[in-house]
Amino acid sequence: MKIILGERTIDHVRIYFEKTQNDTIRRMLPSDVTCIEQAITNFEQSLLPDATSYGKTVCCDGQYIGDIWCYCINPQETPNAMLSYCIFEQEFWNRGIACEAVSLFLKQLCQKYTLQTVGAFTFADNLASIRVLEKNGFTVRERFTENGRESCYLELSL
């Protein structure tokens, strides 16, 4: 399996939005994006010179299977950025792809930005996501309940 992080386009944003409307993914992926127009606006803002978000596509053996991105990028605050990712093609789950994609993305992120910490949120019952983050050096810093659902905040010191 060859994992490559690629450039995102409007077409990727549309595909990603459609694929992540799946009930299984929605239960596992915290998101405040409720419509395609909002997703496109967020993407367009990520292209601006002073953008506080940065993202890539995740491709496995040439197939687009997910996205990975950072948001709230601010080297003066702690954490300096927040990480999120989603492999929306379920046949690629539990194969180490997300773990490798996070590793590749963190290397690119450190080359592009001067960061000391990266945070991530996940639902507490998303054990696979917690494991992906832990394998990449993140540690659970806090557990909390929000909107009736237990979540975890993890952080990585670079």
The per-residue pLDDT for range 47-86, each reduced to its tens digit, is 999 999 999 999 999 999 999 999 999 989 999 999 999 9
pLDDT of amino acid 32: 84
Asked if 132 contacts 125 with a C-beta cutoff of 8 angstroms, the reply is no
Give the global pTM: 0.94
Of all residues in the chain, the percent with pLDDT exceeding 70 is 100
* The pairing of beta strand 117-123 with beta strand 81-87: parallel
Which residues are bridge partners to 123 per DSSP? 151
